[in-house]
Amino acid sequence: MFGPKSHLTARDDHLYIDEVDCFALARNLGTPLYVTSERRLRENVLAYRSAFPDADLYFAMKANGNLTLLHIAVQEGMGADVFSSGEIFVARMAGFPREKILYNGNSKSEKDHEMALQAGVRMSVDSREELEDLSRTAQALDREAEILFRVNPDVSPKTHPKIATGLRSSKFGIPADQVAATYQRAEDLPGVLPVGLHCHIGSQILDTSPFAEAANKMMDIAEAVVKVGGKIKMIDLGGGLGIQYNPDAPAPSPADLAAAILPIFRDRCQEIGISPRLILEPGRSIVADTTVMLAGVNVIKRAHVNFAAVDAGFNALARPMIYDSYHHVVVANKADQPAKETYTVVGPICETGDVLAKDRRLPALERGDVLAFLDAGAYGFSMASQYNGQPRPAEVLVSGDRVEVTRRAEDASALLAGQSIPSRLMW
C-alpha cells in the first residue's frame, strides 16, 4: 500500500508502523507526535552500505538531531556531518568518534574553531579567509586541524532553489579556480593539514546526473591540486539524494547513485594516481521515510474549500510552508477507506501560509481523526519551533511492537525556558 515503505501497513483500517497501531499511539501519547521505525532506519543505512561498501558514511545531523537515532547511526558505523559547534556537542554525546566527524560551515566564529580544535574533529574550510583565521586560532591553541576544502563546483542540482547549494551564486564553498592555490597555501600554513576536498550540491535531488557532473568536477579539481603537490586522502561528495515523497515522483536509490558516481570516482582516481577515501553525507535518504508525524483533527470547516484543521502546523513540520513540499497524508484510523472528499489540511498557527497539505483526496474526516504525515523524519522535528506558543512534540521510537519515548513532549513551561523578568520591573 505504501510502495517501498515496508514498515508502514494498513491493518483493520488502521495505519501501523511496524507492529504499532498509530491511532492507538496517538490516543495514548497525544498529538502531535513523531514516530520512528528503528528497523527502517537500520535498513536505510544498510542500503547505502551495500551500494558503497568502501565509502565512509557521515549522517547529516541537521536532518535529525534525535539522540537515539544518532546513537543508532553510530551503532551502524556512520560518522557525522555537523554544521555548528552545537552539533559537534550533540554528535559527541551520541557517541560518534571524533575521527568520524566533519565540521562544515560557512560562518564559523573563533569560538567555533576553538571548540572544534579542542574536540579534535576534522573541518571543512569554506573560504580562503577562513583558512587564515583557522590557522591563527590553531597556532594559539597549539593544535593542528586536519582540513578539507569545501568546493563550489557550480552544478545545478535541479531542485528547489532554497536547497540548491552547489551553484556558483550560492554562499557555499571556494570557487573551483581558487582551490588548488588555496590547498597549496594551506600546506605552508601552521596549525592546518589539508587532507581533502568536499562538496555538497543540494538536497532532494531526484536525478543522478548532477551528482555525476559534480563528481567529475571534483576529480578535475583533485587533479589540479595534485599537480601543485597537494596530497588528497579523502574526497567528500556530500549528501543530497532525494526520496519519494510523492507517490508520483520516484527517487533514485543509493545503488543508482553508486552506479552514477563510483565509476567516475574510481577511474579518475586511478588516472590521477591517488587513492582517497570516499565520504558521503546523506541526511534525508537515511532518515526521512523512517518517521511519520501524527496530528489530531480538531475542526472540519466547510468553507470555499473543505479545511481540516489539525493540531500541528508549520511549527511542528515546516517543510510544506517553506518549500511547498509534499508530504503524503494517510488517515491513521481510516487507512483502508476510499477517498471521498477533497481537503486542505491546515495547522493551528495564525498565518494563512500554515498549510500542511493542499487539495488532498481523503476519506470523510471528523474531529478526533488522526492524520499521519509520511516521510517526516528529515528536517521535520529538527526544524520545529515554538512559534505561537506551541511546545514542541514528543518523539518516539518503535521497534517491533515496542514503543519508547526518546524525547518527551514539551509542556507550556518550555515556553518560559531560560527567561526571567528583570526584578526592577516586578515592583
Which residues, numbered 293-332, are part of the site for ligand LLP (CB under 6 A)? 319, 323
Q: Which of 20, 35, 60, 179 binds ligand LLP (CB under 6 A)?
A: 60
Least spacing, CB of residue 405 vs ligand LLP, in Å: 24
Q: Does 166 bind ligand LLP (CB under 6 A)?
A: no
Q: Which of 104, 208, 244, 253 binds ligand LLP (CB under 6 A)?
A: 104
Q: Is 343 in the site for ligand LLP (CB under 6 A)?
A: no
CB atoms within 10 A of CB 86: 13
Phi-psi region of 137 (alpha: psi -120 to 50; beta: other; left: phi over 0): alpha
**Cβ within 8 Å of residue 81, ≥6 positions away:** 58, 59, 60, 61, 62, 102, 104, 239, 281, 283
What is the C-alpha separation between 397 and 39, in angstroms, rounded? 10
Instruction: Give the one residue of 173, 252, 276, 283 binding ligand LLP; rule: CB under 6 A.
Output: 283
Q: Within the chain, what is the greatest distance between any pair of CA atoms?
A: 77
Residue 182 as a binder of ligand LLP (CB under 6 A): the answer is: no
Binding mask of the shown chain, residues 378 to 397, with x at each position contacting ligand LLP by CB under 6 A: xx------------------
Considering only residues 345 to 364 of the shown chain, the ones binding ligand LLP according to CB under 6 A are none
Residue whose entry in the numeric block shows the C-alpha cell 568536499: 198
To the query of whether residue 350 is one of the catalytic residues in this protein, the response is yes
Task: Report which of 48, 60, 59 is spatially closest to residue 254, judged by C-alpha positions.
Answer: 48
Measured from the CB of residue 256, what is the shortest distance to ligand LLP in angstroms? 14
Residue 407 lies near ligand LLP (rule: CB under 6 A): no
Considering only 135, 152, 204, 208, the residue that binds ligand LLP (CB under 6 A) is 204
Q: Which stretch binds ligand LLP (CB under 6 A): 129-137, 179-187, 200-208, 340-348?
A: 200-208
Least separation, in Å, of the C-beta of 340 and ligand LLP? 31
Q: Which of 25, 35, 51, 63 binds ligand LLP (CB under 6 A)?
A: 63
Site of interaction with ligand LLP (CB under 6 A): 60, 62-63, 81, 104, 163, 165, 200, 203-204, 238-241, 281-285, 319, 323, 378-379
